[in-house]
């Protein structure tokens, strides 16, 4: 498992570690309207799956806004931000921040995503929330990029994410990630 810290203090991750080259598990999460939708697996297009501890933190909100801006008017790739926030809080955040180009999904019911991808935090002040991570899944459902952000309070490596999409032929959407 990856080494993760919160304010310099080690944090344990729980669940099944997923690595580049493996099939991305298909997991159901809860949308802001309480409907469920699936992320991961093979669905014919690039998926960028972001996990964050909570949309109510500055770093998580900034990360979500950046991806929302990059995805404006683009097709061929989906971006899902997954956290343990309640769907109602996600809906309020999206409405307040104008988030329309990424999906938000809650893993609050059973932590299925956190466990399936090995990003569930354990033994810390944020126990039960998700680590900050990025998984890029190609249309065939294979993980082509993985980043478990080593310090939870920092943003992911946007340049590396862009390079990963570009090096795998891009997503064909002109999303600015190439």
Nearest to 18 by CA among 149, 159, 153, 143: 143
Q: What distance separates the 2 farthest-apart alpha carbons in the chain?
A: 41
Token pair 């690039």 is found at 46
User: Which one of 60, 94, 173, 175 is the catalytic residue?
Assistant: 60
Pairing between β-strand 143-148 and β-strand 77-83 as defined by DSSP bridges: unpaired
d(CA 42, CA 158): 24
Q: Which two tokens stand for residue 58?
A: 């500055």
Q: Which residues contact 110 (CB under 8 A, 6 or more apart)?
A: none
Query: How is residue 9 written in tokens?
Result: 């203090």
Question: Reduced to 3 states, what is the DSSP secondary structure of residue 130?
Answer: strand
Supply the Cα-derived Rg of the chain in whole angstroms: 15
**What count of other Cβ atoms lies within 10 Å of the Cβ of residue 50?**
25
Q: Would you call 60 a catalytic residue per the annotation?
A: yes
* DSSP secondary structure letter of residue 142: B
- Supply the residues annotated as catalytic: 60
């Amino acid at each position: 498992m990856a080494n993760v810290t919160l304010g310099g203090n080690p944090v344990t991750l729980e669940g099944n570690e997923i690595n580049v080259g493996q099939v991305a598990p298909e997991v159901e999460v809860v949308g802001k309207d309480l409907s469920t939708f699936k992320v991961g697996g093979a669905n014919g297009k690039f998926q960028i799956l972001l996990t964050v501890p909570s949309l109510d933190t500055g770093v998580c909100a900034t990360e979500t806004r950046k991806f929302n801006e990059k995805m404006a008017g683009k097709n061929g790739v989906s971006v899902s931000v997954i956290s343990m926030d309640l769907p109602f809080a996600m809906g309020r955040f999206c409405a307040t921040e104008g988030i329309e180009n990424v999906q938000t999904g809650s893993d609050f019911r059973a932590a299925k995503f956190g466990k399936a991808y090995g990003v569930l935090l354990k033994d810390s002040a944020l126990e039960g929330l998700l680590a900050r991570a990025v998984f890029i899944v190609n249309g065939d459902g294979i993980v082509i990029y993985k980043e478990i952000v080593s310090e939870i309070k920092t943003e992911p490596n946007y340049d590396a994410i862009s390079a990963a999409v570009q090096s795998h032929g891009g997503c064909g959407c002109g999303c600015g990630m190439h």
